[in-house]
Amino acid sequence: MARHPAARGLEDDAALLDGWVITHDSIAEGVHYRPGDPPDSVGWKLAAVNASDLAAKGAQPAAALLSMAINGEAAWEAAFLDGLQQALAQFGMALIGGDTIALPEGAPRVLGLTALGRAGPHTPARSGGKPGDSLWLVGTLGDSAAGLALLRSDAEAAGPLVEAYRRPRPLLAEGRALAGVVSAMMDVSDGLLLDCARMAESSGVAAEIDLGALPLSAAFAAERGDGLEARLFAATGGDDYALLAAASDQDLSLCLPPATTVTAIGRLVEGAGLSLTFAGKDVPVPERLGHEHRTS
């Protein structure tokens, strides 16, 4: 158990130590990416999911350490590193070291990255939400989950939904713009409903979400529709890397460039738990809120 104050009680997505935001995420073959995914996209995704944690804390990316498992497929590993380097360059992170281990032939890869970012004047936690705060979402939901569904039915599928699954875009500039004005913020990686429930629990409040307000891309709506079933799919699919923020008396759209997709989707209230509505009617909370990380 990490008990140092920098760990923030392990209730956040990153540690805060001496002006540095530090996070570590791993991706596993067959869990976070498909064995047939292009290796350069795997490298990109590993960098992006870590950068998204920095975005949620309003941090400026600076450097990364790589934990790489190899199994003798030199061409795969070279392409993976190319994709990783492309992403790190775009996000402003220098690769400064790490570790490499060899796996038995045929073993699934587990790849990890530690990302370091310079903290801004305020580093929002997921635990700062208050009753009366509005809930805002920066970005859209469901594209990655819809892309994964397409690949499961057709390994050769392509298009914007597949691209969203393979090459997520961390909202770094948006996170820095919002860090000083929000009560709480986190990225949406495991599913909006699950991550919203985590924010509410950490903040000691309840969350109300209007499913009808959830922002869906045109590509998602064309593939899945925009009714209740599609919106529950988008809200529980995960791998979105949007930003979820709570703010009091603040229109977050005024803090961001006009082209930014930012949507008020609900509010925090007294109590505990999660409640959902659609078209003015209550909706039962689904049993599965998102992707749970479990050990056996």
pLDDT digits (tens, 9 = 90+) for 173-222: 999 999 999 999 999 999 999 999 999 999 999 999 999 999 999 999 99
On whether both 42 and 89 belong to a single domain, the answer is yes
Q: Does residue 124 form part of some domain? A: no
Q: Which domain holds residue 144?
A: 134-283
Same structural domain, 62 and 101: yes
CATH number for the domain spanning 203: value is 3.90.650.10
Burial of 177-205, coded b for 16+ CB within 10 Å and e otherwise, reads bbbebbbbbbbbbbbbbbbbbbbbbbbeb
CB 45 within 8 A of CB 166: yes
Q: Domain ends where: 89, 118, 147?
A: 118
The answer as to whether 24 is a domain residue is: yes
Together in a domain, 172 and 238? yes
Q: Please determine, for residue 7, whether its predicted confidence score (pLDDT) is greater than 70.
A: no
- In a shared domain, residues 32 and 102: yes
Query: In this structure, is residue 55 part of a structural domain?
Result: yes
The CATH number linked to 62 is: 3.30.1330.10
Strand partners, 101: 69
**Least confident among 3-17, 187-201, 275-289:** 3-17
pTM given for the model? 0.93
The pLDDT of residue 83 is above 50: yes
**Same domain membership, residue 97 and residue 158:** no
**pLDDT tens digit sequence for 108-139:** 888 999 999 999 999 999 999 999 999 999 99
Q: Give domain status of residue 3, yes or no.
A: no
46 within domain boundaries: yes
pLDDT tens per residue across span 49-69: 999 999 999 999 999 999 998
Residues 75 and 34 in one domain: yes
Domain count, the chain: 2
**Residue 4 pLDDT > 60:** no
pLDDT at site 88: 98
Percent of the chain with pLDDT over 90: 81
Cα separation of 107 and 75, whole Å?
Answer: 17
Residue ending a domain, among 66, 94, 118, is: 118
Whether the pLDDT of residue 264 is over 90: the answer is: yes
The predicted structure's pLDDT at residue 219 = 98
Per-residue model confidence (pLDDT) at position 64? 98
User: Is the CB of residue 119 less than 8 Å from the CB of residue 20?
Assistant: yes
pLDDT at 72 > cutoff 90: no
